Amino acid sequence: MGWNDALLIHRAAENYHGVALMARDPILIRLAAAWPKVKRQLPAPPRPGTEVDLEALWEKTRVDFQGWAELAQVGLLQLLEGWQVLKGNGLIFPDGTLNHLADNFLKKEAAGKLMVDFGIKRGEMK
């Protein structure tokens, strides 16, 4: 079993409160958007059927914080504070994935921004 399967139950969580927090903070949005591209090292994935202890997994995961700060265009202190919020609220996971609601939010935000940038009104695209 790989990390994708092992973390599926966590990614699928209906985490509306966490996403509401992220949606109100542009720094958290930037950090979450950049998270899938951040370099990281994880331990070997668990055997099938083994429950994942997220806190223990985070402790064993090495993250390139400097690279992440550059990708998200934020300061290192902002990154470290935001990381605690995103991690603590179950919005990002050590394998580079996001909670499904956070991922959907980011996709809708990006699509909305592109529509505005290109002058496309809702309902014009089919």
Q: Output the DSSP codes for 27-38.
A: HHHHHHHHGGGS
Structural domain including 29 reads 3-117
- Going by the DSSP 8-state scheme, the letter that residue 122 receives in this structure is T
| Per-residue pLDDT, 120 | 66
8 belongs to a structural domain: yes
**CA separation for the pair 60, 20 (Å, rounded):** 28
Residue 15, pLDDT above cutoff 80: yes
pLDDT tens for 80-120 read 999 999 999 999 999 999 999 999 999 988 776 666 666 66
123 belongs to a structural domain: no
20 belongs to a structural domain: yes
Q: Among 113, 92, 94, which Cα is nearest to 103's?
A: 92
- The total domain count for the chain is 1
13 belongs to a structural domain: yes
**CA separation for the pair 33, 110 (Å, rounded):** 10
pTM: 0.85
53 belongs to a structural domain: yes
Question: Which percentage of the chain shows pLDDT scores above 70?
Answer: 87
| Per-residue pLDDT, 16 | 92
DSSP bridge pairs for 6: none
